[in-house]
A and B are shown apart, each in its own frame.
Chain A
Amino acid sequence: AQSVAQPEDQVNVAEGNPLTVKCTYSVSGNPYLFWYVQYPNRGLQFLLKYITGDNLVKGSYGFEAEFNKSQTSFHLKKPSALVSDSALYFCAVRDCCMNYGGSQGNLIFGKGTKLSVKP
């Protein structure tokens, strides 16, 4: 079965410091991996994805994530945090080849990590 784990309920970072939000996954085939951000009372916004190719992927707002197949991880990173980055972050996975295959299909989400960036 597919699953996603976000081991930290909350991450606290000082503005200007680097941040990491952790994610590990479990799928039987090759993973499609995603990060989304959710601001209060708003829908989820897509940040970045890993489908294939370079293990380091860059996304919106200066975020990046590194796919590590041996550790089954896809941690979200940013070199210098901003107060405005404070939000709820969700990691999601899809097994590329389950059921109907292709690029489309349902995502399995983690429980989310609350990022708090203090001035």
Chain B
Amino acid sequence: GAGVSQTPSNKVTEKGKYVELRCDPISGHTALYWYRQSLGQGPEFLIYFQGTGAADDSGLPNDRFFAVRPEGSVSTLKIQRTERGDSAVYLCASSDRGAEQFFGPGTRLTVL
């Protein structure tokens, strides 16, 4: 079946601009996660949704970052006033009852 998909695969933007990154989880998966991976590092947790609600947003670095999942399926990560330090690969994952998470290919964000 279809795995987790993310769009766009690459996004180049200028400092100060607003960006939206989209995640389409595996159909029927109730949990959705966003992580950020910088070069040479492991993924770092940002936010976790259970259904439509954010169950844990403790990983969001500041109030420029926001995510929604209005219908309990697709999720959008929104970054306002982007900074060069936001450049990274943004990963989305989903899971059902099992503990393992299934990851998408990621969106590579470059802030110039």
Q: CB within 8 Å of B: which residues of A?
A: 4, 32, 34, 36, 41-46, 49, 51, 90, 92, 94, 99-100, 103-112
17 further interface pairs, Cβ-Cβ under 8 Å (given A46-B102, A103-B99, A107-B101):
A34-B100, A43-B104, A43-B105, A43-B106, A44-B93, A46-B101, A51-B99, A100-B56, A103-B97, A103-B98, A105-B48, A106-B48, A107-B33, A108-B45, A109-B44, A111-B42, A112-B41
Q: Which residues of B, 17-66, contact A by the 8 Å Cβ criterion?
A: 30-31, 33, 35, 40-45, 48, 50, 55-56, 59
Known: A90-B43, A105-B48, A111-B41. A100 touches B103 (CB 8 A): no
Contact yes or no, A100 B55, CB < 8 A: yes
Chain A residues positioned under 8 Å from B102 (CB to CB): 46
A104-B43 contact, Cβ under 8 Å, with A34-B100, A46-B101: no
Cβ of A99: which chain B residues have Cβ within 8 Å of it? 56
Residues of A within 8 A of B40 (CB): 111-112
B87 within 8 A of A: no
Most chain B CB atoms below 10 A, which of A92, A99, A109: A109
Q: Please, could you name 8 A-B residue pairs with CB atoms under 8 Å apart, sorted by A?
A: A4-B42, A43-B105, A43-B106, A46-B101, A46-B103, A99-B56, A103-B99, A106-B59
Q: A90-B42, A111-B42 are in contact. Are A104 and B91 (CB under 8 A)?
A: no
A34: chain B residues within 8 A (beta carbon): 99-100
| Chain B positions within 8 Å of A36 at CB level | 103
